[in-house]
Amino acid sequence: MKKMINKPLTVALSLAFASLMPLSIGLMSTGCAGDRYHESTGETIDDTATTARVKKALHSDAQYKYADVKVTTFKGTVQLSGFADSSDAKARAADLAKTVEGVKDVENNITIKE
């Protein structure tokens, strides 16, 4: 008698889980993959670490401290924005950023204070 009760219940639960499987797979795949305009989870983690390393390099520089420079990273490309006191400071910021691990390219959008 027990086997008859368990068998229909097992079949019903199996069908319920099977019908939910495509939904759960779809939810997992949309959040992880990256494309040209969106980062994957791994890229987001890497870019966050790269941004932190570039900020540290800029703030540790003995010549300039770059308090007014913002650092953003997307897919390994670092964007520098904000303000610097001279063209030498602007160029030095880009040079420092290029030497940091994980940096593929640097877009230097720093504005020189007048």
Percent of the residues in the chain that have a pLDDT greater than 70, as a whole number: 71
Assigned CATH class of 35-112: alpha beta
Question: How far is Cα 112 from Cα 93, in angstroms, rounded to an integer?
Answer: 12
Total residues found in the chain within this entry: 114
pLDDT value at 42 more than 80: yes
Give per-residue pLDDT as tens, 70-110: 999 999 999 999 999 999 999 999 999 999 999 999 999 99
pLDDT value at 24 more than 50: no
3-state secondary structure of 10: helix
H or E element: which one contains 11?
A: helix 2-32
